[in-house]
Amino acid sequence: MRPSLTRILRKTSIRLGFERDWYLYIVAAVIGFVMAVVATAFIAPLRAVEEWGVSMGGNPLLLWLVLLCPAIGGLIVGFLRQIIQARDVGPGVTTLMYAVLRQRSRIQGRVGLQKWLCSTATIASGGSAGAEGPIVNIGGVIGSNIGRMLGTRSQNTATLLGCGSAAGIAAVFNAPIAGIFFVMEILLRDFSLKTFTPIVIAAVVASASTQGILHDSAIFDVGDGFMTNDEFFSIGQIPIYLVLGLASGIMAVLFIRSLKFSSACFQRMPVPHSLKPAVGGLILGLLGLLTLMLTGTIEVPLFYGNGYPVITEFLDPATYLEGGQSASLGGLALLVGLLLVLKVVGTSLTIGSGGAGGMFAPSLLIGAALGGLLGLALEGLGWLPHGSPAHLALVGMAAVLAGTTHAPLTAILIVYELTQSYQVILPLMFAAVISTIVARSMNRNSIYTSRLHDMGIRVGVMSDLTILRRLTVSDVALRDPVIVAENDPAQDLLELSESHRTSNIIVVDERGNYAGMVTSDDLKSALIYREAIPLLQVHELERSNLPTITTDDTLDIVLEKFSHNDVDALPVFDSSDVDHAVGLITRSRLMQAYQTELDRD
């Protein structure tokens, strides 16, 4: 009985992948703990600067700091990028997506170091950006490099990269579930069990360790009195959240296009690249100083930094009760609308000019402001009898975040975990899905994939496409190359085709370097006029414009090249020697490798 049970458990574990990948769970736990320490070290100076800024309220010196600090932070960012040379294709999450799609999930350690220092300089100096993008990038870099040191396969390297990123989100937001689904929905787009399990372990360990270090709960605590009415979401409230979802989707697209427009303007600016963050910071400082002069206050502008304290105010129902009724509501709505515009403009200036930081926090603040603004309008019209504008501010956070990232599941879970209030789930789900539909219909690319699309990289939406992205050409059994010289008579092609039973032949020049290829279609066309073959040479039949492939290319890249060229095979080269083909990859063998891996999953 016992041996039988043992065999059953063993077979089950093998089927689930535990037998061959068990070490990933230990490594994932280590990554989770490491990211808890790293996240604590990353957040500590940002919190210290934030508290110091609050204590400076009313001090005339603050006016100069508001004006100059963003520019100084931009100068530091430019200097850091000069001394820490690292390939940067965009914001932290975009850089990781590029690594997963095009670099076999391998990313240099200096990328994480640069993001850490540059984002700290940007956010601490008042730049309008969040801490989550950098910590996701740092975690991904740590996970990727641990995988490289362990010599893992590209598939497992991607999993460890995801472990680090999920652990980063879990540590910063104390939101392990959201961290897990952020990685699987946005970064890896892979919901297989062998990927899911290590990521869960890393996120849980990171969240628990961070709580043990910082003793913090959720970032935004809505308080016990937030949900006072059982009719917070009923069928009568659906039109309100439908409007909020529609408005959030439109706002998300405007935010994405504002970032893109700002980036394009700064790219065209005749200023050295290293100085552009300082220029953007100076414009932001002028905007901040103008805001203080108009409001007559001396405090850090609300659209500076990550905006978490401001979001907390939006989620407090008492914020919307100060000062009476209609007149005060109008004034408050004007302030909220101004903050909404300034946050979009401030973030576009910061990120578009080359500042470092994430877009999660700005999206959350923009959503909270939009929801609060709609709530104030409904309150003034008397159409909000069973709720508070704070409720719409909370739902607006998830709706705008879903619209900017095109990831409604992540947006729903992160706002739910941030507030720890289950009663908001229904309106969160409804508004987030509506926002995503609207945003995708207006703009096919998210805030993360927009840059990748400009580079000609299609992310795709099918989860099983990740199988092609984690396999490389080296995982496919290649055909041995059959070689012919381009000055040889074409008759040799027929003899080689018959003796080697192949219709795809590599052509080399007089020095033995790759010159092109004769395909099966070329041979078939030649056979139609067989009597002319003795009069032809190989170079008259060869194709020199076919794309080439290296052994490090992932199979999704190969499949894309096949789709643009009507051939059965393509030449493969070693990444270190692009002059001598090592074999041929065929469509059929590519699909066999895909099917084999699909069966394993």
Burial, 387: exposed, middle or buried (Cβ in 10 Å; 0-12, 13-18, 19+)?
Answer: buried
Q: Yes or no: say if 327 and 93 are a contact pair by the CB < 8 Å rule.
A: no
Q: Could you give the 3-state DSSP secondary structure of residue 293?
A: helix
Residue type, position 23, single letter? Y
C-alpha span between 575 and 392 (Å, rounded): 54
Whether residue 348 has pLDDT greater than 90: yes
Where do the H-state alpha helices sit in 174-307?
176-182, 193-214, 238-268, 276-295
Q: Could you give the 3-state DSSP secondary structure of residue 517?
A: strand
Using alpha carbons, list the distances in angstroms from residue 596 to 194, 563, 587.
16, 21, 14
Whether residue 206 has pLDDT greater than 80: yes
Place of tokens 């709706």: 399
- 479: which strand partners? 584
Tokens of 39: 């996240």
pLDDT at 339: 93
Burial, 363: exposed, middle or buried (Cβ in 10 Å; 0-12, 13-18, 19+)?
Answer: buried
Q: What is the mean pLDDT of residues 436-460?
A: 82
Whether residue 387 has pLDDT greater than 80: no
C-alpha span between 137 and 169 (Å, rounded): 10
Given this chain, do its domains 2-214 and 471-600 carry the same CATH topology? no
User: Could you read off the pLDDT of 154-168 as tens digits, one per residue?
Assistant: 778 888 999 999 999
Question: How do beta strands 483-485 and 505-508 pair?
Answer: parallel
C-alpha span between 394 and 233 (Å, rounded): 13
Q: Yes or no: say if 333 and 373 are a contact pair by the CB < 8 Å rule.
A: yes
Least confident of 2-6, 70-74, 209-213: 2-6
pLDDT at 202: 93
DSSP 478: P
Closest by Cα among 55, 74, 50 to 286: 74
Where do the H-state alpha helices sit in 56-131?
61-83, 92-102, 109-124
DSSP 543: B
User: Could you read off the pLDDT of 499-552 as tens digits, one per residue?
Assistant: 888 888 889 988 888 988 888 887 777 777 676 777 788 888 888 888 888 888
Q: Yes or no: say if 201 and 32 are a contact pair by the CB < 8 Å rule.
A: yes
Tokens of 488: 């040889």
Q: What is the mean pLDDT of residues 125-132?
A: 89
Between 577 and 397, where is the model more confident? 397
Whether residue 19 has pLDDT greater than 60: no
What CATH architecture does domain 2-214 belong to? Orthogonal Bundle (1.10)
Residues 6+ positions from 1 with CB-CB distance below 8 Å = none
C-alpha span between 417 and 398 (Å, rounded): 11
pLDDT at 347: 94
C-alpha span between 392 and 431 (Å, rounded): 10
Reported confidence tier of residue 215, pLDDT bands at 50, 70, 90:
low
Q: What is the mean pLDDT of residues 406-430?
A: 84
C-alpha span between 594 and 79 (Å, rounded): 45
- Region class of 550: left (phi > 0), else alpha (psi between -120 and 50), else beta: beta
Identify the CATH number of the domain defined by range 471-600: 3.10.580.10
SS3 sequence of 423-451: HHHHHHHHHHHHHHHHHHHHCCCCCCHHH
Q: In what order do the strands lie in the sheet with 483-485?
A: 483-485, 505-508, 514-518
Q: Yes or no: say if 536 and 522 are a contact pair by the CB < 8 Å rule.
A: no
pTM, 2 dp: 0.79
- Of these ranges, 16-25, 40-49, 218-227, 532-541, the one predicted with the greatest mean pLDDT is 40-49
Tokens of 579: 């002059």
Q: Domain residues of the chain, as ranges?
A: 2-214, 235-459, 471-600
C-alpha span between 450 and 58 (Å, rounded): 41
C-alpha span between 575 and 123 (Å, rounded): 40
C-alpha span between 7 and 250 (Å, rounded): 57
Least confident of 158-162, 172-176, 350-354, 505-509: 172-176
| Backbone dihedral angles phi then psi of residue 392, each to the nearest 5 degrees | -70, -30
User: Could you read off the pLDDT of 234-282 as tens digits, one per residue?
Assistant: 777 889 999 999 999 999 999 999 999 999 999 999 989 889 999 999 9
The alpha-carbon radius of gyration of the chain (Å, integer) is: 28
| % of the chain with per-residue pLDDT over 70 | 89
Whether residue 38 has pLDDT greater than 70: yes
Count other C-beta atoms under 10 Å from residue 40's C-beta: 16
Count other C-beta atoms under 10 Å from residue 159's C-beta: 30
pLDDT at 465: 60
Q: Yes or no: say if 344 and 366 are a contact pair by the CB < 8 Å rule.
A: yes
Whether residue 344 has pLDDT greater than 90: yes
What CATH architecture does domain 235-459 belong to? Orthogonal Bundle (1.10)
For the chain, the average pLDDT equals 84
Whether residue 147 has pLDDT greater than 80: yes
DSSP 26: H
Tokens of 374: 């709609």
pLDDT at 386: 67
C-alpha span between 373 and 596 (Å, rounded): 54
Whether residue 323 has pLDDT greater than 50: no
